[in-house]
Structure 1
């Protein structure tokens, strides 16, 4: 499997906005990097990748209150940025997974 695009800036829009604390964006970025590493190193089928995406989203859910505790919010902009990056990652690795389907499984408020 190919390596991920090393020129792509994950969560760039969140890093550029001071509303989102960098240390929390770093945690989200780590989850995406872990997902990328999974795609780079493991043979998989679409169902396995969808399960891994679900796991990623459940982990993201754990950060919602941490954002609030730091005078921020995991709001629509942050969600859209994360999903846009996830869509790019899936496209890069040639997985035809509908991000809208992924969106429907999320538990974000």
Structure 2
């Protein structure tokens, strides 16, 4: 199973931009890392399972919109 380099910098541009609150970028990163770890566990033949996980991640990130708005970001 291929794995992402453990030193990979997620969302580097968002972390380097003060417009985005760091604690919210951390939440987005956590959503992404969850999917990466899921994908690295095994080879998935059931692409629906993978799609469900990706959809779940997208919904979690979208649910952060209000928090971004409240912190003068988007």
Instruction: Name the TM-score class by shorter chain.
Output: 0.7 to 0.9
In 1: Cα distance, 2:55 partner to 2:16 partner: 27
What stretches of structure 1 move > 2 A for 4+ residues in a row? none
Aligned-CA RMSD value: 1.3
Question: Higher relative contact order by CA 8 Å / sep ≥ 6: 1 or 2?
Answer: 2
How many residue pairs align between the two structures?
73
How far residue 43 of structure 1 moved from its aligned partner, in angstroms, is 4.1
In 2: Cα distance, 1:56 partner to 1:70 partner: 21
How far residue 2 of structure 1 moved from its aligned partner, in angstroms, is 2.6
Task: List runs of 5+ in structure 2 lacking aligned partners.
Answer: none
- Report the TM-score when normalising by structure 2: 0.88
- Report the TM-score when normalising by structure 1: 0.62
Moved more, 64-73 or 2-11: 2-11
1:32-86 CA-partner distances (Å, limit 9, x unpaired): 111111011144232211111111101111100000011111xxxxxxxxxxxxx
